[in-house]
Structure 1
Amino acid sequence: MKQKRKGAAKRPHPDESFVEFVADQLSAIPELFPRRMFGGFGFYSGEVFFAIIASGRLYLKTDEASRQEFVARGMTPFSPSETQTLKNYYEVPVDVLEDRTLLTSWARAAIRVAEISRS
Structure 2
Amino acid sequence: MPQDALLDHCLELLSAVGRPRSRRMFGGQGLYVDELFIALIVFDRLYLKADDETRARFQAAGCQPFTYPKKGGSAVVLSYWTAPDEAMDSPDAMAPWARMAMAAALRARQAAPKPVRKRKVPAPDPAATAAAPAASAARRRTASARAKR
Runs of 4+ with >6 A deviation: none
The CA distance in 2 between the partners of 1:96 and 1:30, in whole Å, is 16
Corresponding residue pairs, total: 105
C-alpha contact 1:15 1:55 (8 A) present in aligned 2: no
Instruction: Give the strand-richer structure, 1 or 2.
Output: 1
The CA distance in 2 between the partners of 1:101 and 1:31, in whole Å, is 15
Aligned to 1:47: 35
| RMSD of aligned alpha carbons | 1.6
C-alpha contact 2:16 2:92 (8 A) present in aligned 1: no
From 83, 90, 93, the equivalent of 1:92 is 83
Q: Greater RCO between the two (CA within 8 Å, min separation 6)?
A: 1
The CA distance in 1 between the partners of 2:92 and 2:21, in whole Å, is 18
Task: For structure 1, list consecutive stretches of 5 or more residues without a partner in the other structure.
Answer: 1-13
Report the CA distance shift for 1:15/1:80 in structure 2 as closer, same or farther (over 3 A).
Answer: farther
Instruction: Give the helix-richer structure, 1 or 2.
Output: 2
SS for the counterpart of 1:64 is coil
Query: TM-score of the superposition, structure 2-length normalised?
Result: 0.64
Q: Which has the larger radius of gyration?
A: 2
